[in-house]
Structure 1
Amino acid sequence: MKKHAPMALAAILLASCTVGPDYAGPPDLAGTSAPQPEFVRRSEGVSLEQPTLASWWTALGDPVLTRLEQLALADNPGLEAARARVEQARASVRQERANRYPTAGAQATSIQANLPGLDLGSGPSQPGQPQQDEDETSLSFYNLGLNANWEIDLAGGQRRKIEAANALAAAAVENAADAQVQLTAEVAQTYANLRERQLRVTALEGQRALQERTLQLAAQRYERGTIPLFALGQANNELQAILADLAAAEADAAVYLDALAVLTGQAPGALDAYLAAPAAIPLPPESVAVGDPASLIRRRPDIRAAERNLAAATARIGVAEAARFPKISFMGILGIGGTSPDDILDLGNISAIAIPQLQWGLLDFGRTAAGIDQAEAARDEAEAQYEEIVLRALQDAEASLARFAQQRRTVAALAQIAQSATRAAELDRQRYEAGVISLGDLNASERQKLAAEARLNAALAALSGSYIAIQKSLGLGWGNPTEGVQ
């Protein structure tokens, strides 16, 4: 053992070295790739204040939506799968850390051998001596002990593996956070769509009732011969068109109900009773906080995951470069035993073996160099992917801000149209009561009012959708995932 001490000491000193590049953080985006100091498409009503990271949907002021978000964050299967991947990655880190240490195991050995021609007791037979007995050519050996193996991390390859595993575990955490961002946005968007479809169903049912009255009047007038058959057919066609739109709206509402049920981890139809009654579309606040592009880059989980993947790819270069250096391992055996089973109980029969081993691949025909080139190319790919994800995130934010500004203008215009249609319907009712216009004319005016309200509701749902898209593009909704769940 003393002879191997200098070798072990030298190996330990060499093991303090770690090959491969040290990760210096994400690349700085320069030139055309650098983000602007503030969002280019920011409009009136969008502030530079930092947004709230978690529970952004509470700003919509809808307690039903808040409850649905809580249920989804607690029970969504996709989110549970993402959290399970986090646990897998953390277990991988623990496994790589454990690989730094020796492995030890217990062993019990029993050897029974018959070796003719070999005198295990007194040596080979001499000429003229009697033939050996079977007992003298048989071997029995019993051993009970421990064995241990340890490979010294001479070039730091194992440390680089641990570094890469840690980075991948962090990336898994960020991917789980990104799954929360995607989930909360999808729940809110689906809920807004459901409320818009329910309001559309209500409006279409009102239009159907009015058109049915109009059709009855047309039938009466046709029977009296005051209108042609074409006019009666036209009134019936308008009714059928309304019925077709009503069927489509009812089907859409059912689809959104089932989608919300699945998003919250329940079977389709489970939320029908809870969400059956129509309600107003949740609307965004007057002022929307978005921060700046730099804070978006720091916050968005997909960007953070890409940065951690880049760190892992950088560490793998060191793993590949460590293959250039020799490997030193030690195997040790310690046990007790002898030629009879009773010997394993005799502590005086102790045997110890230490076997150091040096391996160095001096000729591999370029395999190691190719592995290093592959690792460096993978690092370059991860860096390019990081930059692409950053640029896509900035594009998403700018696009959602542009759509939000456009939808606000659309809502303002359609609100004026709906207000004008409401006033016109009120005036026509007064004119009908005064006998100036017919009931058919009043029904037509009421239908225009309902149609204008339906278009406004669709615009309001689109406005809420653009607000939700802003929150999603900013990477919000992944803090305190189950807070408030009952």
Structure 2
Amino acid sequence: MKRVVTTLPALLLAGCVAGPDYRIPQASIVNRPEAAAPFLGINDRSVSQAALPPRWWRLYGDPRLDGYVEEALAANTDLRAADANLRRASAIFREAAAERTITTGLSGQASGGRIGGPTASLPAPFSYALGFDASYPLDLAGGIRRGIEAASAQTEVAVAARDQVRVVVAAAIARNYARVCTDGVALAAAQHIAAIQRATLAVAVRTARRGRGTRFDIDRARAAAFASEAALPDILADRKAALFELAALMGRTPSDYPRELEACATIPALARPIPVGDGAMLLRRRPDVRGAERVLAATTAGIGIAEAELYPRVSIGGSAGTAASIGRALGSTSFGFSLGPLVSWSFPNRKAVRARIDQAGADADAALAGFDGAVLFALQQTETALSAYARATDRLRDLERAADAAFRASRDADRLQRFGRTPFLDVLNAQAGYADAQASLSRARASVVDRQIDLFLALGGGWEE
């Protein structure tokens, strides 16, 4: 009882709230200057320090891609689930906020009995009681306030999770769109190589019939032609798989895949360097970082919720009612009312409450570690994506030069062989080199677009409304 006497006035005078007020700890990694600095890979000519636009896929200047992304953001099943989770979190927040409203109640009672036993002839007196009560929690310890803070933070966690799904869906649409188109380019190149090698096989057959070639030349040419033809089914299968994945991402059945994209043979290209911003922009934009910070806020509020159990619950309330026998119903003496503070305290097991406070503190420490980890992962993933994209573009330039040289070598070998100045084996070797160079070039083009999408995914844009 002594603690009630000493604690309650202190709460009333100080208006204190249990638990620490939330702020990002100064020692957190997000507050380090290097976390907000420009990226190490910003000096590459394929990127710029301009801010990333909200709908980054529009940088490709492809209205069809834009339409696919918008369709997916409206119909994707993962996004529908994320929206439902957000609605649930919002309802939990409203429930927590409702704890600060007035609570009301109505009661009614009627009774009757006989005086003198069941054989008595006197009429039985009947009485009634009607009452109304209302109370408002003062929340002096701040347990309700901290509960609202925690529920609000958890709602923002759900928002961040929904935004992260938008990021992933947009990137998946762009990746599979580019995959279909790069497969179309690879298919055209493979078909071109196969046509050249079929023509070479025909030349080998004609030359052997004239006595200027051998069976060995024919077999080598036929093997090269068959190898080129064998590359086509894998490309076709990969393209079809990408089309089916696009359909699923857009909420369509496989039979309703976007057939108009099947003929795409132009790889999506950026008209300007990728705008990546800096570390500060990245950490403000990434939904996973924002979600981790909100988890830290929620767990910090959880400390206050646990500490509030140490203090009594105080509310102010009143009641009014009427009670009398039926004969004196609504008489002046049948009414009554009361008004005053209501104190409820169950004298908690302090050891158990302290243990719950320690648990909440440990949860907050773990959330801080998770927040720091999310910051480090965001920076590391972006730097890795920048480096990979830069090296992919360097490799593509080298392979383009190699493919041009291989084409010239194949063309010259064919001309020289026609004039009898080089053996037929040199023609086959040159064509094999050209086929390998084209295959490597197709893979490199696909890799560059893939690395672009990786970078956009690491930058965390595309969720903004």
Query: Which moved further from structure 2: 267-276 or 313-322?
Result: 267-276
Counterpart for residue 319 of structure 1: 305
Provide the rounded CA distance (Å) in 1 between the counterparts of 2:411 and 2:84. 60
Query: Which moved further from structure 2: 65-74 or 426-435?
Result: 426-435
1:253 equivalent among 229, 233, 239: 239
Provide the rounded CA distance (Å) in 1 between the counterparts of 2:120 and 2:234. 95
Cα distance change of structure 1 residues 442 and 352 upon mapping to structure 2, 3 Å threshold: same
Does residue 21 of structure 1 match 2:20? Answer: yes
Provide the rounded CA distance (Å) in 1 between the counterparts of 2:52 and 2:185. 30
- Native 8 Å contact 1:187 1:263 kept in 2: yes
Deviations 1:235-274 (A, max 9, x none): 5544443344221111111110011111122122423422
Give the drift of 1:98.
1.0
2:249 maps to a residue whose letter is L
Query: How much is the aligned-residue C-alpha RMSD, in angstroms?
Result: 3.7
Counterpart for residue 418 of structure 1: 403
Provide the rounded CA distance (Å) in 1 between the counterparts of 2:443 and 2:328. 89
Give the drift of 1:308.
1.2
1:367 maps to a residue whose letter is A
Counterpart for residue 62 of structure 2: 62
Give the drift of 1:181.
1.7
- Native 8 Å contact 2:79 2:166 kept in 1: yes
2:446 equivalent among 454, 458, 461: 461
Provide the rounded CA distance (Å) in 1 between the counterparts of 2:247 and 2:290. 30
- Native 8 Å contact 1:11 1:328 kept in 2: no
Counterpart for residue 355 of structure 2: 370
How does the TM-score come out when normalised to structure 1? 0.81
Counterpart for residue 3 of structure 1: none
Structure 2 counterparts to residues 40-439 of structure 1, below 5 A? 40-45=40-45, 49-107=49-107, 109=108, 111=110, 119=115, 133=119, 140-142=126-128, 146-215=132-201, 227-228=214-215, 234-329=220-315, 333-335=319-321, 350=335, 352=337, 357-362=342-347, 364=349, 366-428=351-413, 430-431=415-416
1:389 maps to a residue whose letter is A
Give the drift of 1:157.
0.4
Percentage identity across aligned positions?
A: 32
Query: Which moved further from structure 2: 215-224 or 406-415?
Result: 215-224
Helix, strand or coil for the counterpart of 2:64?
A: helix
Question: Structure 2: which 5+ residue stretches go unaligned?
Answer: 1-7
1:406 maps to a residue whose letter is R
Provide the rounded CA distance (Å) in 2 between the counterparts of 1:14 and 1:376. 27
Helix, strand or coil for the counterpart of 2:141?
A: coil
1:184 maps to a residue whose letter is A
Provide the rounded CA distance (Å) in 2 between the counterparts of 1:11 and 1:98. 26
- Native 8 Å contact 1:421 1:448 kept in 2: yes
Cα distance change of structure 1 residues 32 and 363 upon mapping to structure 2, 3 Å threshold: closer
Counterpart for residue 4 of structure 2: none
1:74 maps to a residue whose letter is A
Helix, strand or coil for the counterpart of 2:175?
A: helix
How does the TM-score come out when normalised to structure 2? 0.84
Counterpart for residue 461 of structure 2: 476
- Native 8 Å contact 2:112 2:126 kept in 1: yes
Query: Which moved further from structure 2: 179-188 or 206-215?
Result: 206-215
Cα distance change of structure 1 residues 359 and 209 upon mapping to structure 2, 3 Å threshold: same
Cα distance change of structure 1 residues 163 and 200 upon mapping to structure 2, 3 Å threshold: same
Question: Structure 1: which 5+ residue stretches go unaligned?
Answer: 1-8, 120-124, 126-130, 481-486
Helix, strand or coil for the counterpart of 1:99?
A: helix
